[in-house]
Structures are given as structure tokens and as C-alpha cells.
Amino acid sequence: MFMSLFLSLPTEKKDMVKLISIGSNYISLIEEKDNKTELKSKTELTDIEGYILTLLATSTSATSPVNLEKIITSYNQQTNTVLSLDTLKSNLSSIQHKIKQLHLSSSNTEPEVELIKTENGKDYFITLPIYNNDNSVNITNQRKAVISTFYKLIVENYKIAFLKRSLQLLCATCLALLALYFAHITILSSMVKEYGQHSRLIAHQASAVGCSYNNLTQLRRIFSGSRNAHSMLLNETCLISHDGSEIASLERVLTWKNNDAFVYPSFIIDGNELIFRINKEAIQSRYYQLIQYLPIDAIRLVRNNNDVVSVGENPGIAIFTHQVNDKGQLTYYSANPIKDFLLIFAAFAIITYSRFLYCFGHYLMTAQRFKFKLEVVTNTKTRSPIFYEVLTNISGNKPALDLFFLQLRKSNLLMLHTLYLIETVKDHAAAYPSQQLSLNICPTLLAPRHLTTLLSALNKLNPGQFIIELTESSAIEYSKDIYTAIAKIQSMGFTIAVDDFGMGNNNIDLVRRVKPTYVKVDKSFVIGLHRSPESQSIVKNILALANETDTKVIFEGVECIKDQGALLSLNEVIHQGYLYQ
């Protein structure tokens, strides 16, 4: 009969477990936190006290109390002694006193919960649930085993989308780079053309002057209108500058024409050849300003196989070549078109997918801290688990989980997380075939574009071992396609539960059409139920619907004894909440 067992005490600290440990001759108060167990206080029990407390803890509940006569009969049969009613009552009072002292010696406060309770002075029961290590099974050990599988899931399920998006970005980048090249070349060629037209105009004016013209005012006006023209040579003999015009010797002409600091474009005007001498540095400076920050990094103007203008230190790859005037050839170069392409590609990717890339990167980092916990759904009448809901926890600096999953939906990553969850839990399920588990599935994943992937993942599970909970947290409407998908999952052998009933889309019509095995009442209707007539009325309406559709009702958020009692008074015994963890 005697054995060590544990009862769960409610605590406001979610990362702590407080337990009452019952042995054959002792009772102790224990706290567990961060996988460390600490004995807070301990007191001795007599043999009779140990027997009574163990019997109540293992055989009673609020819906199944035991009367004093049965306790006496059981004790007498087990020990072959005679236990009187007065002795029994005295021992019950002694147990209550010792439990009170246990709490006082630990935290100097009285217990928040009355451990042994009676409604009529004859029938007694234990108010606290038995603590089962399975209630908070952490399957993080499975997570490490499938973390490599997690990255495989990314490749398998996102490769087509990745290739499609990459192709779109590649096409957009090509068009953008070509457009930049076209715009830049158009600007530069227009500038060269304008420069040539202006030089031809100046050539006409200078040709009309001739070699005997010494009107300095007119000459200077011509040169002041010129763009960087230093001087001119008419018909290989006449030098014209802002200081005048004169017949030059052959030696002087040769010296004038062979200065590397200048370029020498030529024009034929009315049968006269006019050669300009233009400062090369001034031209290069003018063009360099236009190629400094754009994809064209260098330009080269060649006339009669001679470089007229060469701007840019590294010619790179020739992008485009075209004729300029009669004898000129202008070539545009890009030093590193691959670099330009990658920069534009990266810019487009950041602008177009910055939110997704941020969320995806954040998810990859957060995935390293995932812990999947099993939260028990309890039959309080038999004090035994019905199934365990698989929940995602995040260790360390925890974000709000509701916000976390909202971001997953917005960034289209919820399917990836669901697949990861299935991969993680399937090995655990195989190791514990008698343990029934439930998985939360968002209705958005039942849409046609996701359904094939989801069903393929669910095929890896034993459907008889799993319950699929349809969550509320989705703005999707339950269309014909969604109902068809639910029917498909049911036909595979999975049990269906409707989660957070009473909130959002999880409404009466859904229950009537799907006919789920379970309906989980949202905790907002359960917390404070004992003092809220409005919540009590809503719960009664839900129970009426459940009775109509032959659906079992699970009450979430059972966190205190009073709410537990309010549910038990309605004869509702399937509970989930922190009180049972």
C-alpha cells in the first residue's frame, strides 16, 4: 500500500514546480526549478497518518470522495487491527496540522490550498492532483536529434519558392542593370554629341576668321564660347588663339600637334581643315564626374586609331561601342559588371524581402532555443491523463508566444514550424506508443496551397496516437476547401479537437459541421468562473451544444481550486491548466 508519491501545489512562478511528497512515514515540501530539486521542509507521519494520506491521495478526487467507514474498513483489512472512528478523525486533524506546519516552516505562510477537504463531514477527498513526471515532459532531447532535419525541411519545402523568387530577382536585376547602362550611356553619348556639335560651331566661326584676322576682341569672344579649346590650326599652317592668328612654321606646327597634354579633334569646314587643341585633363574631369558613381566606369574615344579621350583608370569589360561624328568610335566600359549585378540583386532582395529575411533569420536563431513541452489534459474523476498537448516554449529571453506565432503567419513561416514540430515529436511518439498527443494546426495550413505538404507530414505519424487541434488564432474564413481538408484529416484516422472555442472563428457552426471529438473552452471563460455568472452562463450554453453534437468538453486555464470546484459542480471533469502541471 505504501509508496512515495507527489502532489502538485499551485504556484505563480511558471518555471517552478512545488510538490508535496508523501511517504509511508513522512510528508515533505519540495521545489523544483531548472532541473534542480530542493527540500524545503519535512515532518514525520505515524503509520496510521501515512496510510490515511496515501489512501486519500491515490483513491479520491472531488468527484469521487471516500467516506470514513470505507477508510476504517480498508485500514482494518490491511493491518488486521481495529481503527476507531474517533482515532481516524484525530489522525485527519493531525495530518492537517502537520501540513500547515510544513508550509509555515518553509515560507512562514499558511498553505493556499486545503489539502484534505470534506463537504459534509463524512466524505473526504484530496484537492491536489497527483504529480506525474510525464505531465511536463520536455522533448528537447529530441530537438537536438532533428536539428539537422530542420535544415533539410527548409531546403525541401522552400527550394521551389526560393528558386522562383531568385529567378524573379535575377530577371529584375538584369533589367535594372541594363536600364542603368542604357541611361548612363545615353547621358554620356548625348554629352559627347553636344560637345562635338558645339566644337563644329566654333570651327565654323574660326574658319571664317582666316589667318589674317587680328581682331582680338572677336577672337577672344570665339574662344570664350568654346569648351576648353586652347587654340586651333587652320589648314596645317595657320595658328589661331585668343592672342591672334598667324602663319606658323612647320617646326612650330609639329611642336603644337605633339603635346600629350592635349587632344586634337579635327573638322572639315567649307573645304578647310580645322584642328582643335583641347586640354585633355579638362575633358577627362568633365566626363569623370559622370562616371564616378554609375555603372559605366570608363569611356574611350578613338579617332583614326588614336585615343582622343580615355577616362577611367580601369577600362574593364567593353559594354557598348558606337560611332561618333565621322571618324570617331566611342566605347563604354564597366570595371566589374558582376559586382554591379550582385549589388543591385542584394538591394532588390533587401527592399522586396527585407521583412521575410528578417523573420526567417530570427526564426533560425530562435529555433536553437525551442523546447517542446507536453501539457497534460486530465480526467479529474479518475485523476489520470487523457492526452498531452505539444506546446512550443522558448528558453532564455522569451518573446510573447502569441506575437511569435503571429509573426510566423505574417512571414509565411508557420508551415515550416509545424513541420519541424511534427519531425521533432514523431520519434517521441514512437518511443511512447501508449501516450496520446495533440498537435496545434492553424487553419491557414489547410488551404489548398499548403494542404499537400501538411498531409505528407501527417502521414509520418500514427493517426491513432494523435489529436489535431484546430486553433483559433487565424483570420481565415472556413471555406469549403478548409472543411474538405478537415474531413480528409479525419478520414486518415486523426481525432479532431477545436481549440479556444468561443473565440474568433471557432464557433458553433464549425462544431456542428466538423463534429469534433473534443471542444476546448477558451481559458478566458474559465479563469474566475467561480465568481462570474456571465461566464457560467456561457459555459452552460457550450455544454448544451456539446451534448447536441456528442462532443467532449475540455476546460483550459484551470489554475485555481475555486475554478476547479465550479467546474466539478457542473460535473465537468476534463481539465487542462497550470493546476495540473
What lies within 8 Å, CB to CB, of 540 at 6+ separation is 570
Q: Using alpha carbons, select from 341, 69, 402, 393 the residue that is nearest to residue 178.
A: 341
Between the CA of residue 88 and those of 25, 50, 54, 247, 536, what are the distances in Å? 16, 12, 14, 140, 38
CB 494 within 8 A of CB 472: no
Handedness of CA 180, 186, 189, 191 (dihedral sign): negative
The full set of domains in the chain, from first to last, is 5-126 (1.10.10), 167-341 (no CATH), 369-580 (3.20.20.450)
For residue range 500-519, what is the model confidence (pLDDT) as tens digits? Answer: 887 665 578 888 899 999 99
**Which grid cell is 128?**
491536489
pLDDT at 34 (0 to 100): 67
CA–CA separation, 249 and 256 (whole Å): 10
Would you give the distance in Å from CA 576 to the centre of its chain? 28
Residue 32's SS3 state is strand
* Residues in the chain, total: 581
CB 42 within 8 A of CB 106: no
Residue with cell 511558471: 14
For residue range 137-154, what is the model confidence (pLDDT) as tens digits? Answer: 555 544 444 566 777 777
Mean pLDDT computed over every residue of the chain: 81
Which of the residues in the chain have pLDDT under 70?
1-4, 11-16, 34-35, 112-113, 131-148, 210, 212-215, 225-228, 289-290, 292-293, 304, 306-308, 313-315, 325-327, 396-400, 473-475, 503-506
CB 450 within 8 A of CB 485: no
Burial class (CB in 10 A: 0-12, 13-18, 19+), 141: exposed
Would you give the distance in Å from CA 235 to the centre of its chain? 77
CA–CA separation, 82 and 68 (whole Å): 14
CA–CA separation, 568 and 552 (whole Å): 15
Q: Using alpha carbons, select from 129, 66, 34, 138 the residue that is nearest to residue 558.
A: 129
Report the share of the chain in percent with pLDDT over 70: 87
Report the share of the chain in percent with pLDDT over 90: 15
CA–CA separation, 202 and 78 (whole Å): 126
CB 264 within 8 A of CB 256: no
Would you give the distance in Å from CA 411 to the centre of its chain? 6
Question: DSSP class of residue 442?
Answer: -
pLDDT at 135 (0 to 100): 43
Cα angle for residues 103, 106, 111 (degrees, 5° grid) = 20
Residue with cell 543591385: 344
Sheet bearing 5-9, strands edge to edge: 5-9, 16-22, 26-33, 36-44
CA–CA separation, 143 and 337 (whole Å): 44
CA–CA separation, 50 and 91 (whole Å): 10
Question: DSSP class of residue 134?
Answer: G
CA–CA separation, 406 and 530 (whole Å): 32
- Per residue, the 3-state secondary structure of 85-122, as one string, reads HHHHHHHHHHHHHHHHHHHHHHHCCCCCCCCEEECCCC
CA–CA separation, 464 and 442 (whole Å): 20
What lies within 8 Å, CB to CB, of 136 at 6+ separation is 17, 373, 374, 375, 581
**Which grid cell is 88?**
481516524
pLDDT at 156 (0 to 100): 76
DSSP states of 204-252 as a string? HHHHHH-SS---HHHHHHHHHHSSSEEEEEETTTEEEETTEEEE--HHH
**Which grid cell is 371?**
523546447
To which H or E segment does residue 179 belong?
helix 140-209
Q: Using alpha carbons, select from 135, 105, 112, 137 the residue that is nearest to residue 6.
A: 135
Q: How many CB atoms are located within 10 Å of the residue 238 CB?
A: 21
Between the CA of residue 68 and those of 48, 49, 56, 85, 128, what are the distances in Å? 14, 14, 11, 7, 19
CA–CA separation, 497 and 499 (whole Å): 6
pLDDT at 202 (0 to 100): 78
Between the CA of residue 359 and those of 68, 108, 347, 356, 426, what are the distances in Å? 61, 48, 18, 5, 26
**pTM listed for this prediction:** 0.64
Beta strands in 420-517 (DSSP E): 437-441, 466-470, 495-501
pLDDT at 13 (0 to 100): 65
